[in-house]
Structure formats: structure tokens, C-alpha cells
């Protein structure tokens, strides 16, 4: 602004110097014209008049020139003022534009910051989503591995259950065979017991017949002795020996014609079956118990309880035989 004012002042000074130069040049030209005019009598007044007129004309021209210079200076001042106003307006406009540009820059900076924050937030969200996806993938991998392990475990359990079922079936068939064998053994023992009972009845019948023969022999012996000895003496009622019967002398069956005593016979000599061999409880106590298993896991039958000979049909113990 000070530079524009200095330019205006220099312009005014240049116009003033130009006016002063024009005035000096006109004065010199007038003096030169006056010096060139011849000196004539009576012409002094006219020359003075001309000079006065010329001076007035020059003064008017100078005033006009001065007025024009002032107008030009005023116009220059007005132009300078307008220029200053326009410059002020331009400066204000520039300031407003700068402020708007600064505001726009601030807005742009804020927008960039918000965009950067949004980008950072988006990046964090993507990272979290990636981490969540990786975690989900790991969980799915662990679940798949657990499912495979569970499947393997179930297959192994199924295989073991099938093996156990097969073993149970084999044990059950073995137990059935053992029960059948015991049933047959019981049947045989019952048949043998019937034979033994029949043999025992035969022996008892033989013993009864022998007892009858012995009684008859004793009676015949007593009669024979009574015939040889005569009537017996009357017994003394006061004696202690009267209460006792007369003693019979020991006689062999050969002396009195009685039947000889039956010889002791073994079971094999009298037609009976041979005695059963001694059996241990393990031989007829039933099949061994099955391994401990839960029926709910494989659907097999529960383990058989230990059985005694009376529960599975084994033969009862034979009674003692009388000789």
C-alpha cells in the first residue's frame, strides 16, 4: 500500500515539474519573440498590450494546465483510492479465499484423518475378523480331530464289543455243551443209580433169604440138641442163672447142616455197576463264569452264576451200601 502511494506522489510531482517546464518554455519563447520584433515608435503600447494579453493567455493556459494536472492528480488519487479499495477488497477476498482454503484444508485434513481412522478401524476389524476366522478354523480343526478320535474310539469299542460278543457266544456255546454233557452224565448217573438200587434190593432179598435159612438151621439145630440131651432141668427160680437161656455151643454150619454164610462180594461180583469215580466240584460245577461285562454295552446275556451239582442236574451222592 505504501508503494502505491509513493507512485501516486511521484506522478503528481512529475506533472508539477512538467507544468513548470512548460511555463518556462513559454516565457523564453515570449522573450525571444519580443526580442525579434523591431522597435517602432508607438508600438510600445501595442506590444505591452500584446504581452499582457499573451501573459493572460499563458496564465489562463497555465491555470488550465494546472487545473488539468490537479484533475489528473485527483483522478490519479481517485484511481489510487479505487486501486487501494480494490486492493483492499482483493486482499479481503484473498484473505477470505485463504481462510476458505484454510478451512477447506482443515476440512480436508479432518476428512483425511477421519478416512485414516476409518481405514484403521476397517483394518482392525479385518484383522479381528481374520483372527476370528483363524480361531474358528482352529476350533473346527480341533472338533474334526476330536470327531475322528471319537469315531476311532467308537470303532475300537464296537470291534471290542464284537470280539466280546463272539467270545460270549463261544463261551455260551461251550456252556451249553457243558450243560448238555452234564445232563447226559446226570441221565447216566440216574440210570446207574436205578441199577444200584435194583442190585441193592437183590442183595437185601438175598440177605433176607439167608437170614431165613440161618433161622431155620438154628431151629433145626436146637431141636437136634434137645433130642440128644433129653428134657431140660427145671430152672431154679432163686438162682441168677435161671434168667439166662442155655448157651448154645458155637457150631459151624458144616456140623449142623445149615447153609454156609454168604461170601462178601464186591459190587462187580453181584452184577451191580461199578462205583462212580470221585468227581471234583470243578468237573461238574458248570462252565466257568464269563468275564465281567455290562449287558447294556453289548446286549449280551448276563454272566452265569456259579452252580452247584443240585442246580445244574448233576447226580446226587450215592447212599452208603449195606454189606
Cell reading at 188: 447216566
pLDDT at 29: 78
Average pLDDT of the residues in 224-231: 79
* CA 251/CA 290 separation, integer angstroms: 68
Q: What is the pTM of this model?
A: 0.28
* CA 288/CA 284 separation, integer angstroms: 11
Cell reading at 50: 500584446
* CA 92/CA 116 separation, integer angstroms: 34
Cell reading at 36: 525579434
Lowest-pLDDT range of 216-220, 254-258, 319-323: 254-258
3-16, pLDDT tens digit by residue? 777 777 777 878 87
Residue with cell 471234583: 280
* CA 139/CA 124 separation, integer angstroms: 22
Q: Is 300 helix (H, G, I), strand (E, B) or coil?
A: coil
Average pLDDT of the residues in 85-102: 84
Average pLDDT of the residues in 224-230: 82
296 pLDDT more than 50: no
With CA atoms as reference, report the closest residue to 163 among 286, 305, 293, 304. 293
Residues contacting 45, CB < 8 A, separation 6+: none
DSSP 138: H
Amino acid at each position: 500500500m505504501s508503494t502505491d502511494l509513493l507512485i501516486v506522489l511521484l506522478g503528481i510531482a512529475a506533472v508539477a515539474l512538467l507544468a513548470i517546464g512548460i511555463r518556462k518554455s513559454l516565457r523564453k519563447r515570449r522573450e525571444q519573440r519580443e526580442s525579434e520584433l523591431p522597435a517602432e515608435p508607438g508600438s510600445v503600447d501595442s506590444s505591452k498590450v500584446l504581452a499582457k494579453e499573451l501573459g493572460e493567455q499563458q496564465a489562463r493556459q497555465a491555470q488550465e494546465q494546472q487545473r488539468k494536472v490537479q484533475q489528473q492528480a485527483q483522478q490519479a488519487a481517485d484511481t489510487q483510492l479505487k486501486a487501494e479499495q480494490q486492493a483492499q477488497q482483493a486482499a479481503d477476498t484473498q484473505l477470505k479465499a485463504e481462510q476458505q482454503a484454510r478451512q477447506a484444508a482443515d476440512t480436508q485434513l479432518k476428512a483425511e484423518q477421519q478416512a485414516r481412522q476409518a481405514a484403521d478401524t476397517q483394518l482392525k476389524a479385518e484383522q479381528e475378523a481374520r483372527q476370528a476366522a483363524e480361531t474358528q478354523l482352529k476350533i473346527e480343526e480341533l472338533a474334526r480331530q476330536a470327531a475322528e478320535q471319537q469315531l476311532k474310539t467308537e470303532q475300537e469299542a464296537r470291534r471290542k464289543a464284537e470280539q466280546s460278543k463272539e467270545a460270549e457266544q463261544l463261551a455260551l456255546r461251550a456252556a451249553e455243551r457243558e450243560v448238555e454233557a452234564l445232563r447226559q452224565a446226570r441221565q447216566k448217573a440216574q440210570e446207574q443209580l436205578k441199577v444200584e438200587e435194583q442190585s441193592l434190593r437183590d442183595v437185601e432179598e438175598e440177605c433176607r433169604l439167608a437170614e431165613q435159612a440161618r433161622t431155620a438151621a438154628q431151629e433145626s439145630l436146637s431141636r437136634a440138641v434137645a433130642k440128644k440131651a433129653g428134657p431140660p432141668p427145671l430152672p431154679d427160680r432163686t438162682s441168677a442163672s435161671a434168667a439166662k437161656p442155655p448157651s448154645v455151643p458155637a457150631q459151624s454150619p458144616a456140623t449142623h447142616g445149615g447153609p454156609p454164610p454168604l461170601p462178601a462180594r464186591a459190587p462187580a461180583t453181584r452184577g451191580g455197576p461199578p462205583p462212580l469215580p470221585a468227581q471234583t466240584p470243578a468237573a461238574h460245577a458248570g462252565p466257568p463264569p464269563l468275564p465281567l461285562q455290562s449287558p447294556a454295552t453289548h446286549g449280551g446275556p448276563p454272566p452265569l452264576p456259579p452252580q452247584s451239582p443240585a442246580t445244574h442236574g448233576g447226580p446226587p451222592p450215592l447212599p452208603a451200601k449195606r454189606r
